[in-house]
Structure formats: C-alpha cells, structure tokens
Chain A
Amino acid sequence: MEWFQLGQLLLPVALLVVGYVVGRILESRHYVSIRAREQALRGIVALNTRRVPEGVDAVDACLLSSSVVVSSDYFKSFVAGFRNLVGGRFRGYETLMERARREALLRLKAQAQDAGCPLVIGVRFHSTRIAGASTASMEVMAYGTGLRLRNGASASVPSPGGAA
C-alpha cells in the first residue's frame, strides 16, 4: 500500500526529470540548428512591408507559407502551472515560442530559396493553440509574398560585421 503511494509521489518526479533532461537537450540542439541555418540563409531577406521596396526590380511574385508545430514538455508545463498561481514571465514558454517563430521564418526562407525568391515581403506570423486545453501545443505559421528579381539578382548585402 505504501509502495503504491510512494509510486504516486515519485511518478511525477520521474516525469519531471525526464521532461527536463530530454527537453533541455532537444532545445539546445534546436537552437544550434536554428543559428546555423540563419547564418546559411542570410541571402534570403524577409521583410514585412506591404509594397515592393523602391528600387527593387521584381518580375514575379508568389505566396509562400510555412508552419511549425511545437509542444511543451512536462517540465515546462509543470513550471508554467505554478507560474499560473503567482504570475510573471513564462520563461519556459518564451524559449518555446521563440524557437517556433525562428523556425517558421527559416522554413519560409527555405521555401523562398527553393522558389528562387531572394526577397519575401509582407511577412506575417500567426500562432494558434492546438490539441485543446490539456496539452500546451502551438502552431506558428509564417507567410509572405516571395519576389523573383530581374536577372536573378540577390536582395541582400551581407554586412561584414553583422553577425550577432
């Protein structure tokens, strides 16, 4: 009987440890991959202007969209549950959402690259909660208008000291 009760107490602890360790490893790997791809895709420029910037000679346009679905881990949700009581920054969800937005933009740029569009304008983000109230899961969508330029010109000018 008491072993059963001990299990009831220890199961959430075990889930917390697994959620934390695995979630942390996956998150740091994701950040490494995001940073590498951001560097690699610097040639594609995404802007949220509605009109083609002056001086850009666009010959063709297409709609591009990308989306990312992310889920919280047990640890993040657990901490967020306590955070609900006292208020303040949902730090775990901040990194979750930041990764999702950056990933969505990267996917948009990857699609722009495939479509031969060095410039994407009118970029918007949209996020939706999915999977109901029982799981903290989000979809982040990015969409914009990809432009092909005359003579296959590239839009960006990498600045030598611009790496963050």
Chain B
Amino acid sequence: MNPGSSAPSAAPAVSEPSSAPLPPPEVSAPSSPAAGPRLENRLPDEGINSSQEHPLREFAWLLAAAVVTVAAVALLVGWGAQWLAPKVPFGVERALAERMMPAPDPRHAARDAALQALAERVAAAMGLPQDMRLDVRFDDNPLPNAYATVGGHVRIFRGLLEALQHEDELAALLAHEIAHVKHRHVAANMGRELSLALLLGMLSADAGAAMASAALGQGSALLTLHHSRQQETQADADALRATVALYGHAGGVTRLFERLGQLSGDGTPALKLLRTHPLTAARQAAVRAQAQQAGWAVEGASPRLPEALRWPASADQRTPPAAAKTPSAGG
C-alpha cells in the first residue's frame, strides 16, 4: 500500500512476518468488546521462513563440495606449475635472484669459494645444464639447515656444516640442493603458491568468505606439503646417484641423514602430513634400499672436509664453535 514501505507482508491487514494471508477481517464480530472488526494476530507458522533442515547436513554437503573442488584445483595448479616451471627460462629466475639476493659477505669468501668448488664438481657429475649457474654460499646461522632458492642460489648454514666431517656428506647435501635447482622446484613452488593465492584472493572479502577462503587455504597447504615431500624424495634420489658417481659408495648420503636425525630428530611421526620433508628415517631407508637395489656400496672411504669448511675453524673466522647447537627443523 505504501510504495516506500519496507514491510514484508503482502496481506494488507497483517504484519506478522511468517503468517499466511488471513481472511478479510470480520466486521462486527458478535463477541468483540470493541464492537468493531474482528482483529487478531495468528501465531506465526514455523518452518516456512526458516528451514527445518539440520544445519550440520548443509555444512557437510558444502564442506565436501569445497574439499573436492579445492583438491582438484590445487592438484591441477600443482601439476601445471611443475609442467610449466622447466619451460620458464632459467635466466628469468637469475634476473629475479639478482634483485633479491644480497651481495656475498666478504668475511666468508674462503668458505664460499670452497663450497662453490665442491658444488661445481657435484653439478658436473649430475649433468647440470651449462646455463644453470650455481651460487653456493655459507650462511652464519646456527640452525642445522640448507636450502636452494631462485636463480641457482644455494645456502649452507653453519649449524649443518658443523655437524659434517667428511667431504662426501657435504657433497650429498650439495647434490640434494642442486637437484632442487636442476628440477626447477623453486620455480614450480613459486608458481604454485602464487596461483593458489590468486585463486583464493578471488573469493569475496566478506566475513564468511574470508573464513571459507582461510579454510580452503589450509587445505591446499596440505597438498602443497605433499608436493614438497615428493620433491624432497626426488632430490634425495639424485643426491644418492651423484654421491655414488663421485665417491663410489653411498656413505655420504646415509651419514648425512644420520647427522640430520641427531640434530633435529623426527618430531612427531604422527604429524608427518604437516612436514615439508619426509621423515628422516624414511629417507634413510629409501636411500639404503635404492643403493642395495643398484648394487652400490653403502659405505666407503672419503676425504675429510676441505680445510676452509672444517670446524672449529681457523682463528680469523668469527663465532666460536661452542656458541652454536640449536636443534631445530632440519633441511
């Protein structure tokens, strides 16, 4: 009746939100004390304006649909990134790295050079393409870790270097990181994370949607971790081959994993789905099995670490060795 009105009811005589249209008011009902029309409000009907369906049922359906969708999208994006990454020229990665990476620390020049020299030998044994230049550096960080990042940059932390004794262990570690470079894992991971972030960012920024996209993000992170563990397994296999090619036995890899296990342990095996790497024990077992299958010697002789990388280091290098040993997640 009133064009500007926001009243929801269609029936002119009734304003109860959920009542059905009433019959027209009876004029002068005999029992009415006001002797006027018979006016009343019916009690609202239940279940017309609101649903009787159990909320958990709707929740289960929506969640199942979302999980299936996210799994499909994340897998697709993951495969897409892995397929596309090797097709991106390595020069693009290098150009990116040049803008991101700080200049090498001159105090560590001797260590950097020793690491670089060994890495080049390992890379030659692995058949790393000529255009994939490596840039291996020492990082004065007490955590037992090492990583490969954009543009062939590899960092070895002091915390991990301290724990190594023989050259073949370091070679195995370098081979593992060089395998990440060779297989373009860094580019694949960047592509995957970027596209997932873009996809989730496309959802509206509404309160509920923000929650939903956070949940979907957590779900896709689990799948990303799965990809990450697959990459580590691939890098371990390459590292084993390279170590055997250089030293004639797999001792470097198995001793490296022993050190890693001593340094950081395996955390809680029940939570292995949340880890970036497979459990160290599982990695070790896989390497032993692979070596046995190929008929490679599991142990053998190896030179000690190069002079510049030995610990405790010569007096001109800073940081006394006693200062470090912070067990933490290993790389």
Contacts and interface: CB of A to CB of B under 8 A. Distances in A.
For the residues of B in contact with A, the DSSP-based class is loop
B97 to A, nearest CB: 26
B33 A153 contact: yes
Contacts of A12: 211, 214-215, 218
Interface in B30-73: 31-46, 49-51, 53, 55-56, 58-59, 62-63, 65-66
A119 B17 CA distance: 17
Given A2-B274, A77-B208, A98-B17, A82 B42 contact: no
Interface stretch (B6-14, B109-117, B178-186, B309-317): B6-14
A23 B186 CA distance: 45
Given A75-B55, A156-B39, A164 B268 contact: no
B35 A81 contact: no
A125 B204 CA distance: 29
Interface stretch (B21-29, B75-83, B98-106, B297-305): B21-29
Interface in A58-115: 72, 74-86, 89, 91-92, 94-95, 98, 101-102, 105
B66 to A, nearest CB: 5
A162 B43 contact: yes
A98 B42 CA distance: 16
A139 interface: no
B268 A3 contact: yes
B289 interface: no
B33 A53 contact: no
A38 B44 contact: yes
A80 B213 CA distance: 12
B198 interface: no
Contacts of B328: 1
A149 interface: yes
A112 to B, nearest CB: 12
Interface residues of B, number: 67
B44 A55 contact: no
A102 B17 contact: yes
B59 A155 contact: no
B2 to A, nearest CB: 6
Given A81-B210, A95-B51, A3 B271 contact: yes
Kindly name the residue among A2, A81, A135 whose own CB sees the greatest number of chain B CB atoms within 10 A: A81
A129 B273 CA distance: 41
A91 B49 CA distance: 10
Interface in A109-164: 119, 123-126, 133-136, 144, 149, 153-159, 162-164
B34 to A, nearest CB: 4
Interface string B207-243: 1111111110010000000000000000000000000
A91 B50 contact: yes
B55 A92 contact: yes
Contact of A42 (B25, B43, B207): B43
Contacts of B2: 50
A56 B213 contact: no
Contact of B207 (A8, A49, A94, A136): A136
A24 interface: yes
Contact of A125 (B17, B43, B205, B215): B17
B5 interface: yes
B131 interface: no
Contact of A156 (B1, B6, B14, B40): B40
Given A2-B268, A84-B206, A123-B7, A78 B211 contact: yes
A95 B205 CA distance: 23
A28 to B, nearest CB: 12
A84 B204 contact: yes
Contacts of A92: 55, 58
A77 to B, nearest CB: 4
B141 interface: no
Per CB-CB distance, the 7 closest pairs between chain A and chain B, nearest first, are: A55-B36, A81-B208, A81-B212, A80-B208, A164-B43, A48-B15, A82-B62
